[in-house]
Amino acid sequence: MMLIDIYIQEVTRRLPEKMRSDIALELRSTIEDMLPGEYSEEDVKEVLNTLGNPVVLASGYKDQPMHLIGPRYFDVYVSLLKMILPIAAVISLITVISQNVFGYSGDEAILSIVLHIIGEGIWATIDVGIQVFFWLTLTFVIIERVDKNKDEQPVTLSAEKWTADELKNIPYIPKKKAISKFEIFGGLMWTAIWATVYFNANQLVGVYHGTENGLKFVMPALNQEVLLQYLPIIVIIIGIEIAMSLYKLLKAQWTKRMAIFNAIHELIVTVVFIMIITNSKLMNQQFISYMSDLFSKENFNNWLIGSAICIFIISAAINVYDGFKRSRVHK
């Protein structure tokens, strides 16, 4: 019955990954043993009410007790921490990348800049992670200490005592349909990377020559003025991608509506990409001549554009197919 699946999901999702399969099997066996031979939905509810709130049950399976923040607030605390940390990390990385790229004078070797961005980005991520962890933990510690009812039922979206009827309001999310925090973080990170490269293409995309100090940028491949002509629509696309990531964070699973939005997004991005890359003024003519001589290939410009369009369309098609495939998973 679906209520049993949802209950097990609500318990196991709060446990470490390595424990989930064994606990799920054990819990399902326990529930089935407690049920009569031919059971009804009311029998299931009675058993689940006996087992109690899945938050409390999950805390009992863990090896270590939660002393600093007790069971009443711990689940909400962890959920907020998982939600806020990736977003704060992406924002800090975007800030670091923007500061270094926009402040690039062209005098330093590009490899040195890249290494500097990586190092500074790691420290910025660690710093913002510590800040988020400290202040969020401190907030919940204070709430826990001033709450006189901290030993009662855990805090949930409902202030009433937990019953099995609450499971009806929780969607069952199959593993293949679920959207992980890593997937959301990766989407935001990709948006930050391509946007940074787009707005600084004349300093990042092109020909590099090796020197004693590392790689030196000597020739841009793209005309930055042409790229900036599409600024309004690029800003809209960035906004759509950020909105999609936040929507995924809220839904936590692929749905038909999300798959449709994803398909529309991929279609818009593909059309814009083709429109930009086929602009005759986009490519630096000096770069085209250099690459044609380097690869001994005539019509290098047409070959490069054709290859880029094919790869982009295939990638978009795979993404759209994967979205609809995952949205149709039921079990």
Bridge partners of 201, per DSSP, are none
DSSP 218: E
pLDDT tens per residue across span 204-213: 788 877 666 5
Q: Which residues of 2-25 are buried (b: 16+ CB within 10 A; e: fewer)?
A: ebbbbbbbbbbebbeeeebeebbe
pTM above 0.85, yes or no: no
Quick one: pLDDT at residue 309? 94
Quick one: pLDDT at residue 200? 79
Residue 157 has pLDDT above 80, yes or no: no
Quick one: pLDDT at residue 66? 46
Residue 155 has pLDDT above 60, yes or no: no
CB 192 within 8 A of CB 241: no
Least confident span in 14-18, 45-49, 262-266, 317-321: 14-18
Give one word for 296, left, alpha or beta, with left for phi > 0 and alpha for psi -120 to 50. Answer: left
Dihedral in degrees, nearest 10, Cα atoms 226, 227, 233, 237: 160
pLDDT tens per residue across span 165-204: 666 666 677 778 888 877 887 888 788 788 878 887 887 7
Exposed, middle or buried by CB within 10 Å (0-12, 13-18, 19+), for 119? exposed
Tell the residue number behind the tokens 């030196």, with chain if given.
Answer: 216
Whole-number average pLDDT of the chain: 79
pLDDT tens per residue across span 292-318: 877 766 678 888 889 999 999 999 999
Instruction: Read off the pLDDT band of 98 (50, 70, 90).
Output: low
